[in-house]
């Protein structure tokens, strides 16, 4: 199973909350309460995102964290990369192949980088602005029953 870490998940959640704040700084404590996350974890994530230049922090009563760029210019891949490091779904799919002891004998190692690039491209194509909007409701789809389905309903009713 491919999963992002809890930190990356929370990081995206915190960044979407800051997007909805529309430029108003939010303290770590306020974000922790709003997102119902532990304050120590929130503080750690916010500091990491600030070091990666996605957030700026202001001290003082009106201080807090705010985005440094428009949400449309920040991707899910950017946030995950800042919190987890470069995306690599296997040892041999990252920048360096040094972690794989089977590199010489592996028949599929050449395919993992391609898969890794596809996943990275998918995450890169989703902006923080998109992630901050509620999921659009999915329309209900009804289909017309076929003659066979109608006949079965009639037979059971009789």
pLDDT in tens, 7-43: 999 999 999 999 999 889 999 999 999 999 999 999 9
How far apart, in whole angstroms, are the C-alpha atoms of residue 132 and residue 136? 12
Query: Tell me, what CATH number does 97's domain have?
Result: 1.10.10.10
Q: What is the pLDDT of residue 142?
A: 65
Task: Tell me whether residue 89 is in a domain.
Answer: yes
Q: Which domain holds residue 35?
A: 6-132
Task: Tell me whether residue 140 is in a domain.
Answer: no
pLDDT in tens, 69-116: 999 999 999 999 999 988 877 766 666 555 567 667 777 777 888 888
Helical ranges in 1-158 per DSSP H: 6-20, 28-35, 39-51, 76-84, 112-124, 128-132, 147-157
- Tell me how many domains the chain contains: 1
Which of 62-66, 97-101, 144-148 is the most confident on average?
A: 62-66
Secondary structure (H, E, C), 98-123: CCCCCCCCCCCCCCHHHHHHHHHHHH
Q: What is the pLDDT of residue 37?
A: 96
Half-sphere exposure of 113 (CA within 13 A, CB side): 8
CA distances from 96 to 11, 26, 64, 87, 105 (A): 26, 38, 37, 12, 17
Residue with structure tokens 């509620």?
A: 134
Of all helices (H) and strands (E), which one includes residue 64?
strand 64-67
Task: Tell me whether residue 138 is in a domain.
Answer: no
């Amino acid at each position: 199973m491919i999963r992002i870490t809890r930190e990356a998940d929370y990081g995206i959640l915190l960044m979407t909350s800051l997007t909805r704040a529309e430029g108003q700084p939010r303290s770590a404590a306020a974000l922790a309460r709003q997102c119902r996350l532990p304050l120590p974890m929130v503080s750690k994530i916010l500091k990491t995102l600030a070091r990666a230049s996605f957030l700026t922090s202001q001290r003082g009563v009106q201080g807090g964290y705010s985005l440094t760029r428009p949400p449309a210019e920040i991707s899910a891949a950017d946030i995950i990369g800042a919190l987890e490091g470069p995306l690599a779904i296997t040892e041999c799919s990252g920048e360096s192949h040094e972690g794989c002891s089977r590199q010489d004998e592996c028949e599929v190692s050449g395919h993992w980088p391609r898969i890794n690039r596809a996943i990275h491209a998918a995450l890169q194509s989703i902006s923080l602005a998109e992630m901050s909007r509620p999921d659009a409701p999915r329309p209900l789809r009804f289909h017309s029953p076929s003659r066979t389905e109608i006949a079965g309903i009639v037979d059971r009713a009789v």
